[in-house]
Amino acid sequence: MELTLSYLALLLYLAASLGYLGSLRVSHPKLLRAAGILARAGFAVHTVALAIRLYQEGRPPGNLSEWLSFYAWATVAVHILTEVRYESKVIGSFVIPLVVLLLGTSAALPKAIESLSPPLKNIGVWTHVILTLLGNAAFALACCGALMYLLQERQLKSKQPGVLYHRLPSLNLLDNLCHLALSLGFPLLTLGLLSGALLAYSTFGSFLTWDGKQIWSIVTWIFYAALLHGRLAGGWRGRKAAILSIIGFCGVVFASLGANFLIRGTHAF
């Protein structure tokens, strides 16, 4: 049941992506609206699927596949909020395909769970997981905003505006979006890492167990700290800040997917 719902959500996101991408090519408000409705429908189904899973299992995501599904969900949630905030639907043309990628990967990965040690089924794990999830979702949004910024900037600099020039929002809006997403994501990630460290201390007796994910997350955190500081204090904005946001997100993706395969440790995935 819950798996069927997950596939249905994936299908709805996929349809929404096609609509969103199509409306990048041709200006068609109905298509864009339809894509928005499909994405919300996908989100609703996805929410039900995750709720069923939570109710049945009563534990946080236990493998990479589950984590990615939660990640995709959080990204859509953050996206819907920004769509309302900025009254710009075009952002979906970049976010929703990314969501399809995340959820698609989730569906393709093995579903088996290495049994979770009992001490990990507590509120501490929940806090840690939810905070890092939301933080990373905000960074995903910042990355999409940055990508759109770079595309629009190139249109304006080239002086030969094409289709994207008309479809994409203003540089100002995109830069604001990136800034907002970073200033939300960073404190969430910070708290997420802190709660993780406390959790590690209570479970393993040490704040840091030096597994790949921890190390890489700290690297990412330092990177985002520098970027945010540069934006706030150094007046970094525009193209360079956008490129850094994209690099930062690559770090997030690596921390989520790759770091653990290099050095296995206390993170099950």
Q: Decide whether 44 or 232 has the Cβ nearer to another protein.
A: 232
Residue that has been written with the tokens 């819950």 in this structure: 2
**N- to C-terminal Cα separation, the chain:** 25
Tokens of 9: 């959500």
The only residue of 162, 202, 206, 222 in contact with another protein, by rule CB under 8 A: 162
152, 171 in Cβ contact below 8 A?
A: yes
Site for another protein in 142-161 (CB under 8 A): 152, 155-157, 159-161
Q: Decide whether 74 or 171 has the Cβ nearer to another protein.
A: 171
Binding-site string for another protein from residue 208 to residue 247, where x marks contact by CB under 8 A and - marks none: ---------------------------xxxxxx-------
Phi, psi of 268 (to 5 degrees): -65, -25
Type of residue at 13: Y
177, 145 in Cβ contact below 8 A?
A: yes
Nearest to 89 by CA among 10, 168, 156, 163: 168
User: Is 62 among the residues that bind another protein (CB under 8 A)?
Assistant: no
**In whole angstroms, how close is the CB of 167 to another protein at the nearest point?**
9
User: Is 202 among the residues that bind another protein (CB under 8 A)?
Assistant: no
Nearest to 163 by CA among 93, 101, 95: 93
- Taking CB under 8 A as the binding criterion, the range among 25-33, 49-57, 93-101, 218-226 that sits at the site for another protein is 25-33
User: Is 87 among the residues that bind another protein (CB under 8 A)?
Assistant: no
User: What DSSP line would sit under 43-97, residue for residue?
Assistant: HHHHHHHHHHHHHHH-SS--SHHHHHHHHHHHHHHHHHHHHHHHT--TTHHHHHH
- Taking CB under 8 A as the binding criterion, the range among 76-84, 143-151, 164-172, 211-219 that sits at the site for another protein is 164-172
User: Is 84 among the residues that bind another protein (CB under 8 A)?
Assistant: no
Give the whole-angstrom CA distance, residue 226 versus residue 199: 26
The only residue of 19, 97, 169, 251 in contact with another protein, by rule CB under 8 A: 169
User: Is 28 among the residues that bind another protein (CB under 8 A)?
Assistant: yes
Alpha helix stretches (DSSP H) within 87-211: 92-108, 123-158, 163-167, 171-204
Q: Decide whether 32 or 68 has the Cβ nearer to another protein.
A: 32
Q: Decide whether 31 or 198 has the Cβ nearer to another protein.
A: 31
Let me know if 59 is exposed, middle or buried by CB neighbors in 10 A (0-12, 13-18, 19+): middle
Binding-site string for another protein from residue 109 to residue 148, where x marks contact by CB under 8 A and - marks none: ----------------------------------------
User: Is 170 among the residues that bind another protein (CB under 8 A)?
Assistant: yes
The only residue of 33, 85, 111, 166 in contact with another protein, by rule CB under 8 A: 166
Nearest to 2 by CA among 41, 49, 63, 43: 49
**In whole angstroms, how close is the CB of 251 to another protein at the nearest point?**
23
User: Is 27 among the residues that bind another protein (CB under 8 A)?
Assistant: yes
Provide the binding-site residues for another protein, judged by CB under 8 A.
Answer: 26-30, 152, 155-157, 159-163, 165-166, 169-173, 235-240
